[in-house]
């Protein structure tokens, strides 16, 4: 995967913006964002949901996870394998892995084929509604294989970092809904 200098510079400026956004008022922003996400889940009647376990600069999904678990929804999170990931059922305890990412213990449980909603963190996006992530390509590789099984993709970020120029590639994940603080 080659990355343009323009995309790398955009990612760096977005990460700096997210770091600043995570230092002040993050709790309130996250709360508002989670209310919007929950409304989308209810409106779409999503039962099987792919989530992420947040890093410091990402929207904190733990309050939403707690609520969705109480409601009995099926929750899946990424489990890193090589240059991509597969989904495993969300369960405790969580362990901290590579890049500071938390994961449940490995499980060989198979998930249902269909995911009603995938909630994905973004660093930024461009005019094509494609995701700029951390630059590892894990979500791109996952979605390349699983896109047909995912009904709706929701992008989340505390701050919208947006490029009016096309800086993403065709393989970058495209979002259906974008929710920011």
pLDDT number for residue 1: 41
Whole-number average pLDDT of the chain: 87
- Owner of token pair 């096309």: 166
DSSP 45-68: T--EEE--PPPTTS---HHHHHHH
User: What residues contact 110, with CB distance under 8 A and at least 6 apart?
Assistant: none
Instruction: Kindly state the average pLDDT of the residues 111-139.
Output: 89
- Write down all domains in the chain, each with its CATH number in brackets: 5-74+114-180 (3.40.50.10420)
Map residue 152 onto helix, strand or coil: strand
pLDDT number for residue 107: 62
**Three-state SS string across 81-128, please?**
ECCEEEEEECCCCEEECHHHCEEECCCCCCCCCCEEEEEEECCEEECC
- Owner of token pair 């700096």: 16
pLDDT number for residue 2: 45
Highest mean pLDDT among 1-15, 94-108, 158-172: 158-172
pLDDT tens figures, 49-107 = 999 989 888 999 999 999 999 999 999 988 777 777 888 888 777 777 766 677 667 66
Classify burial at 176, counting beta carbons within 10 Å of its beta carbon; exposed 0-12, middle 13-18, buried 19 or more: middle
Residue 37 pLDDT level (bands cut at 50, 70, 90): very high
Map residue 14 onto helix, strand or coil: helix
Highest mean pLDDT among 24-33, 84-93, 117-126: 117-126
The verdict on whether omega for the bond into residue 93 sits within 30 degrees of 0, i.e. cis, is: yes
pTM to 2 decimals?
A: 0.87
pLDDT above 70 covers what percent of the chain? 89
The β-bridge partners of 75 are: 49
Instruction: Kindly state the average pLDDT of the residues 1-10.
Output: 72
């Amino acid at each position: 995967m080659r990355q343009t200098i323009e995309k790398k510079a955009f990612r760096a400026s977005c990460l700096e913006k997210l770091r600043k956004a995570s230092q002040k008022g993050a709790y309130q922003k996250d709360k508002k964002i989670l209310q919007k996400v929950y409304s989308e889940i209810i409106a779409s009647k999503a039962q099987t949901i792919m989530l992420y376990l947040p890093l410091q600069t990402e929207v904190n999904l733990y309050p939403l996870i707690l609520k969705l678990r109480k409601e009995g929804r099926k929750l899946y999170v990424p489990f890193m394998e090589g240059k991509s990931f597969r989904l495993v059922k969300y369960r405790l305890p969580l362990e901290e892995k590579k890049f500071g990412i938390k994961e449940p213990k490995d499980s060989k449980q198979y998930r249902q084929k269909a995911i009603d909603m995938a909630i994905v963190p973004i660093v930024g996006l461009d005019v094509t509604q494609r995701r700029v992530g951390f630059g590892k390509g894990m979500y791109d590789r996952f979605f390349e294989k699983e896109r047909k099984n995912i009904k709706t993709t929701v992008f989340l970020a505390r701050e919208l970092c947006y490029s009016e120029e096309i800086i993403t590639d065709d393989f970058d994940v495209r979002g259906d809904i974008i929710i920011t603080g």
